């Protein structure tokens, strides 16, 4: 099993290219099930989750053509992938595939809309909370689907003639459920209005792609999304938006270690709240043509309190990284997690590096320290794993991060990007 070795103490200086967003790429790929024409996606990152979803879509009959990889001088690459599902080969998403990645459950929406039926295993994924599928079930039921749970699978059936437009208000904001209902409603008869919809940029990106395919969606990016159903969707060409979580992660790494880095190919408007928190912590964050420049001072980090919230609030996917940054602050800070009930598993690992963190319910109290020391640590989930990398970059001596397959799910060529900016980071394969 691979590990990542980090020797801390170096400032980061240079350019880091930001990849396409995993959280946008996955629902966009799933949208290929809605049409018999070809959907072409540009700027698709090379990640373990993307590769797994390619296998899952292949199981449903999606033919995939990859334009290889486009090399750049800085060593980054993005792919253009063509997805064609002339005929849905199988409406069952089996446990052995769905259990490995929660987002693969989202195929239930397109399969139900296009084929009138779907049998999908209950999902798996990161152990950061229960994340029940109730919102997905209730949303699809509002469109007329009959849903039955049997033997760990959800059997879904659309009414004769297809799904029917409806007005539905989510009791809780859910990005995944918004994705699924938006895709399903695109082929429903009549108009669907989704209330309390997720406002994340990835939702807007999916809506833009679906509209390019012939859907009629308005209001994406607000809490009310309206979808006028159409009889069929066509192919389209769409570019995956930049990864705001990767952007924020590297910005925090620079703030924590010191240095001067340009995050290339990203957009500050995707994460205004997180960037403002980084500024309050003492780093300089400015927009540049085609990116963001971050200048950090390492030893002059100020304590900042944050609360995770749905977009446009502070992203839960940057909570662990920000906690890593606060371990070096000159004072006490607080991090409150409101999205997932079990997303503090990184705390005990940060403590191994010398972090002083105490928990009270969903709030972590971080007493900053001027000194972290390298140690062996273990990744527990995707975002927690990269918080350990950030802390390791600022720690004295060597940090060894194990179980880095979590990192490979969401960060493209992390070691290479950091190394090019002066960090000592290497992957060790046992």
Annotated binding-site residue? 100: no
Annotated binding-site residue? 174: yes
Backbone angles phi, psi at 246, to 5 degrees: -65, -40
Alpha-carbon distances, residue 369 vs 53, 56, 251, 300 (angstroms): 41, 45, 20, 11
CA atoms of 103 and 183, how far apart (whole Å): 14
Annotated binding-site residue? 231: no
Residues with a catalytic annotation lie at 126
Run of H or E residues at 416:
helix 414-419
- The DSSP code sequence of 89-126 is ---EE-HHHHTT-GGGGGGHHHHHHHHSEEEEEPP---
Annotated binding-site residue? 70: no
CA atoms of 233 and 366, how far apart (whole Å): 50
Annotated binding-site residue? 22: yes
Q: Which residue has the tokens 């072409």?
A: 40
Annotated binding-site residue? 102: yes
Annotated binding-site residue? 173: yes
Q: Which residue has the tokens 């802390």?
A: 391
Annotated binding-site residue? 359: no
List of residues 6+ apart from 264 with CB closer than 8 A: 15, 16, 17, 18, 74, 290, 291
Annotated binding-site residue? 134: yes
Point out which residues pair with 40 in neighbouring strands: 82, 237
Annotated binding-site residue? 425: no
Q: Encoding tokens for residue 208?
A: 């833009």
H helices of 219-375, in order, are 244-257, 272-280, 319-326, 347-352
- Do 301 and 280 contact (CB within 8 A), yes or no? no
List of residues 6+ apart from 31 with CB closer than 8 A: 39, 110, 183, 206, 209, 210, 213
CA atoms of 118 and 155, how far apart (whole Å): 6
Run of H or E residues at 209:
helix 201-212
β-pairing verdict for 376-378 and 398-402: parallel
Annotated binding-site residue? 159: no
Instruction: Measure the CA angle with vertex 153, ends 56 and 175; round to 5°.
Output: 65
Binding site as annotated, residues for phosphoenolpyruvate? 22-23
Binding site as annotated, residues? 22-23, 102, 131-135, 172-175, 317, 339
Binding site as annotated, residues for UDP-N-acetyl-alpha-D-glucosamine? 102, 131-135, 172-175, 317, 339
């Amino acid at each position: 099993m691979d590990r990542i070795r980090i020797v801390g103490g170096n400032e980061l200086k240079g350019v880091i290219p930001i990849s396409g967003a995993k959280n946008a790429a996955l629902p966009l790929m799933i949208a290929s099930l809605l049409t018999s024409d070809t959907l072409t996606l540009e700027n698709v990152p090379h990640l373990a989750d993307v590769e797994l979803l390619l296998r899952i879509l292949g199981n449903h009959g999606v033919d995939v053509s990859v334009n290889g990889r486009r090399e750049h001088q800085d060593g980054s690459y993005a792919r253009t992938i063509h997805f064609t599902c002339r005929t849905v080969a199988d409406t069952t998403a089996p446990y052995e595939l769905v259990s490995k990645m929660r987002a693969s459950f989202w195929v239930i929406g397109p399969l139900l809309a296009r084929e009138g039926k779907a049998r999908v295993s209950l999902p798996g994924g990161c152990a950061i909370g229960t994340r029940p599928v109730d919102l997905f079930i209730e949303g699809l039921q509002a469109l007329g689907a009959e849903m039955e749970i049997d033997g760990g699978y959800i059997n879904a059936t659309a009414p004769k003639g297809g799904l029917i437009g409806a007005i539905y208000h989510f009791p809780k904001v859910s990005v995944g459920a918004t994705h699924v209902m938006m895709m399903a409603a695109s082929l429903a008869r009549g108009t669907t209005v989704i209330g309390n919809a997720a406002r994340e940029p990835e939702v807007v990106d999916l809506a833009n792609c679906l509209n390019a395919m012939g859907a009629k969606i308005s209001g994406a990016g607000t809490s009310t999304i309206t979808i006028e159903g159409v009889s069929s969707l066509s192919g389209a060409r769409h570019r995956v938006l930049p990864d705001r979580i990767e952007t924020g992660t590297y910005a925090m790494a620079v703030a924590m270690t010191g240095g001067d880095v340009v995050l290339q190919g990203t957009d500050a408007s995707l994460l205004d709240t997180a960037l403002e928190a980084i500024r309050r912590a003492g780093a300089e964050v400015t927009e540049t043509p085609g990116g963001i420049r971050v200048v950090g001072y390492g030893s002059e980090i100020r304590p900042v309190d944050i609360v995770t919230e749905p977009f446009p609030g502070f992203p839960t996917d940057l909570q662990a990284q920000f906690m890593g940054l606060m371990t070096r602050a000159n004072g006490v800070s607080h991090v409150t997690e409101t999205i997932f009930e079990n997303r503090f598993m990184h705390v005990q690992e940060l403590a191994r590096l010398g972090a002083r963190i105490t928990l009270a319910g969903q709030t972590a109290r971080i007493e900053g320290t001027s000194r972290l020391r390298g140690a062996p640590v273990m990744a527990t989930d995707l975002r927690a794993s990269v918080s350990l990398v950030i802390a390791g970059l600022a720690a004295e001596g060597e940090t060894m991060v194990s179980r880095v397959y979590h990192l490979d799910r969401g960060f493209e060529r992390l070691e290479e990007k950091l190394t090019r900016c002066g960090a000592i980071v290497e992957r060790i394969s046992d």
